[in-house]
Each structure stands twice: as C-alpha cells, then as structure tokens.
Amino acid sequence: MSRIVHKFTRTVPQWQPRVTPVDLQEATEEQLDALSVTPSNTKVSAYVLTLAHDVESLKVRSPLFNAIMYDPGGMSRAERELGAIGASMVNRCIYCAAVHADRHAKLEKDAAVTDELFAKGEKADLNPRNRAIFDFARKLSESPVAADEADMAKLREAGLNDEEILDLILSTSLFGWANRLMHVLGDPVREEVSA
Amino acid sequence: MTIFDSTTLSAAGITAGSATGAAAETRSNIIEATQAAEDAVLTPKDAGAFPHALRAALAARIANEAGENDLADRYLAGAGDMAGLADPSQDGETEGLAHVVAFADKAANHTREILAEDISTLQAAGVGDADIVRLCELVAFVAYQLRVVAGLRLMKGAAA
C-alpha cells in the first residue's frame, strides 16, 4: 500500500500519475525519439511517460528546462533551486519541492535553509540575500502575480545583478510550469512499510 | 527574427540596447526555446481535442485573469470564433466547454487546490488522458510565460 505525502520533505517521494502514461510498447517513433529511448536506454519515469502524451511539448520543454536550471553564468545553481522551491511551496507541489530542496541542500552542503523554509514557510529566518530571492520567487508565483517594484528593489539591494535577476525570474517561472504538470497530473506517494 | 521579436520580450516591452535587453541576450537560447514551446502548445501539429483557436482563447483567458493584457491580446489574435472564452467572466457553457474552462481556471489560478477529483471529473466528461496532458501543458506554459513577462517588466521598470 502507498499513502499520499502531504507535508514538505527533502526525502523525495514516488510520483503516481492520475492518468495512464504512454505504454512504451505502443509508443510512436516521435514519442520514442522525444523520450530518448534507445536499445541501451529503456528506463523512462512514469512522469516522462505521462508527458509523452503531448510529445510536441515534451520535445521542446526538456532542453528549455536544462538551459534554465543548468546553463553556466548568471545566478548560482543553488540560488536557481531556491527560485524553484519558492514556486513549489506556493503551488504546494510536494514532489517538486522535495527534489529541489534536496538539490539545494546538496549544492550548499547544508540543509539549514531548506529546513528553515519547510518549518516556517514565509516566516523563515534567512540571510538578506536568500530572503530577497525567496520573497521574490514566492510573490512571482502567486496568482495573480504579487511581486512588485519594492521586491525588485530588494533584489538589487541584496546585490543581485541583471543576469542573476533574469535567471531568478526564469527558474521561478519555469516551476510555475513544472508544478502545474507534476502537482496536477499526479500524487506524491510513499510505500507503507509493513510492520 | 531576433529574440526581441519573440512574444515574451515584445509583450514585456524589452528592446535591444536596454539593460534588460542586454541581460536577455545572454540567455537568447532560452528566449528562443520559450518561443518554440509557445508554438508547441498554441499551434501543435497534433492538436488533439483542442483546436488552435480554443488554445489561443484559453491562453488569453489565463493572461487576462492575471492582468497581463498585452500578452493576452497577442494570444487572442489566434482565437477566432472562440474569442469569447478569453473573457474570464464567461464560463464556457455556450460553447459546451464548461468542464474544460473550469479545469483550466483552477489549474492556472488555484494550482495548490487541485485534487485527483479534478482529473477524474474531466475523464468522466469524456476527455481522454492524452488530451488532459495537452490541456495541462497549455495552462502550465501560459503560467510560465506570463510570469517571465511580469518579471521582465519589473526588471525594466527598475533599470536606471
């Protein structure tokens, strides 16, 4: 038996789709191509198999995702993860928040920031730079967008340059997208350990 | 075509030669990939149950609800006879699309409140799983793009 995870955690749960994913045996050439399935690589997650239903989107989204989160220059990897976490907390995407809090903790070699965020949410005790980044990410993720000129000014006061601010806007917005797939199309679950 | 002709930078009013424009040029690959993603959700070759006009109308609706009217107008240009749905006060009943409109609104604007029942309601209304994924990609992309536009406009406003 598995149960749905409702609380923020850094321990990454399983993801259980609410729709039936594409069956690899029945996938079209275009789907196999987008899934990068080759004879030596046949392991594809349930999430990616679900997205393969819209193969045209999947094909363009993966390189975009990687560029926003991993391309060199601009904002640090860990701070981009903080943007992703801000969005995922607003949208309560438990799965996304877990994956990206885990990455943040590993990049920083320190779990203090994500511990604090998961314990206290927007009241978390953060240093001024993380505070400005998290608040901007959180407010940009609200519907409608709540970020304003004052939040932008705080980013500059905290020392962020234009390239870093752009990367924060991109990584936060990207999770406005990812959360609406992951949180909407499936549940974060954990296997019950039998006594 | 340059990145400054893309929907994202045009809707945010970012021009070449500005400080924000210079930052955007360092991420031109991302601006280009964003345009490719926009084309994939608004005008895909395989549109499934959602013709291009309906996609444009739903995108405009979400942008309007978010107060991103310039972006909404750009989407609306493709909405044809579905343009009425771009008005958030229309519920889609006239078009026989109330279930699609209600789901798109909730996924776009009240994401955290989405439940398994919201998906099973669509399935019960006859929307296939592939179309549910297509609808989510459309809504999710627009949620991304309107936030990039809103963020860029704040950046531009703050530039000296």
Look-up: residue for tokens 């609406």?
A180
Same domain, yes or no, for A113 and A46? Answer: no
Minimum Cα–Cα distance from A136: chain B residue: B151
Same domain, yes or no, for A62 and A12? Answer: yes
- Contact status of B132 with chain A (Cβ, < 8 Å): yes
The DSSP bridge pattern shows strands A14-17 and A2-4 to be: unpaired
Same domain, yes or no, for A163 and A80? Answer: yes
For residue A175, the domain's CATH number is: 1.20.1290.10
Look up residue B105 and give its two tokens.
Answer: 């609104």
Same domain, yes or no, for A54 and A96? Answer: no
B 82-101 residues with CB < 8 A to A: none
Same domain, yes or no, for A15 and A78? Answer: no
Same domain, yes or no, for A27 and A83? Answer: no
What domains are defined for chain B? 3-158 (1.20.1290)
CA of residue B145 relative to chain centroid, distance: 7
B 133-152 residues with CB < 8 A to A: 133-134, 136-137, 139-141, 143-148, 150-152
Report the pLDDT value the prediction gives residue A195, as an integer from 0 to 100: 54
Same domain, yes or no, for A57 and A98? Answer: no
- Encode chain A (195 residues) as per-residue pLDDT tens digits: 789 999 999 999 999 999 999 999 999 999 999 988 766 767 889 999 999 999 999 999 999 999 999 999 999 999 999 999 999 999 999 999 999 999 999 999 999 999 999 999 999 999 999 999 999 999 999 999 999 999 999 999 999 999 999 999 999 999 999 999 999 999 999 987 665
- Contact status of B103 with chain A (Cβ, < 8 Å): no
Same domain, yes or no, for A135 and A167? Answer: yes
Report the pLDDT value the prediction gives residue B39, as an integer from 0 to 100: 98
Angle ∠(B3,A154,A109) on CA atoms, nearest 5: 85
A 69-98 residues with CB < 8 A to B: 71, 73-74, 90-93
Burial label for B55, CB within 10 Å (0-12, 13-18, 19+), is buried
Determine the distance in angstroms separating the CA of B129 from the nearest CA of chain A, rounded to an integer. Answer: 6
Q: Quote the CA–CA distance of B6 and B74 in Å, as a whole number.
A: 11
Q: Quote the CA–CA distance of B84 and B91 in Å, as a whole number.
A: 10
Picking from B139, B155, B148, B152, the residue whose alpha carbon sits closest to that of residue B54 is: B139
Angle ∠(B103,B104,B107) on CA atoms, nearest 5: 80
**In 3-state terms, what secondary structure has residue A75?**
coil
Picking from B73, B66, B28, the residue whose alpha carbon sits closest to that of residue B147 is: B66
Same domain, yes or no, for A83 and A30? Answer: no
- DSSP for residue A38: B
Domain extent for A52: 2-68+187-191
Instruction: Say yes or no to pLDDT of B160 above 50.
Output: no
Distances (CA, A) of A183 to A3, A15, A64, A87, B148: 15, 9, 20, 12, 21
Q: Quote the CA–CA distance of A93 and A6 in Å, as a whole number.
A: 9
Which 3-state string (H, E, C) describes chain B?
Answer: CCHHHCHHHHHHCCCCCCHHHHHHHHCHHHHHHHHHHHHHHHCCCCCCCCCHHHHHHHHHHHHHHCCCHHHHHHHHCCCHHHHHHHCCCCCCCCCCCHHHHHHHHHHHHCHHHCCHHHHHHHHHCCCCHHHHHHHHHHHHHHHHHHHHHHHHHHHHHHCC
Same domain, yes or no, for A26 and A103? Answer: no
Helices and strands in chain A: count of H runs, count of E runs:
9, 3
CA of residue A56 relative to chain centroid, distance: 21
Same domain, yes or no, for A80 and A146? Answer: yes
A 112-131 residues with CB < 8 A to B: none
- Contact status of A154 with chain B (Cβ, < 8 Å): no
ipTM of the complex: 0.97
Q: Quote the CA–CA distance of A48 and A63 in Å, as a whole number.
A: 14
Q: A57 vs B41: CB contact, 8 Å cut-off?
A: yes
Report the pLDDT value the prediction gives residue A39, as an integer from 0 to 100: 67
Angle ∠(A172,A173,A179) on CA atoms, nearest 5: 90
Same domain, yes or no, for A53 and A132? Answer: no
Q: B44 to chain A: which residues are within 8 Å by CB?
A: 54, 56-57
Report the pLDDT value the prediction gives residue A43, as an integer from 0 to 100: 81
Look-up: residue for tokens 């084309």?
B39
Q: Quote the CA–CA distance of A71 and A65 in Å, as a whole number.
A: 10
Report the pLDDT value the prediction gives residue B107, as an integer from 0 to 100: 98
Which residue from B24, B48, B155 is facing A152, i.e. has the nearest CB?
A: B155
Q: A63 vs B33: CB contact, 8 Å cut-off?
A: yes
Tally of residues, chain B: 160
Q: Write the pLDDT tens digit of every residue in B58-71.
A: 999 999 999 999 99
Q: A92 vs B111: CB contact, 8 Å cut-off?
A: yes
Report the pLDDT value the prediction gives residue B67, as an integer from 0 to 100: 96
Integer Rg of chain A from CA: 18
Which residue from B19, B109, B155 is facing A143, i.e. has the nearest CB?
A: B109
Into how many domains does chain A fold? 2
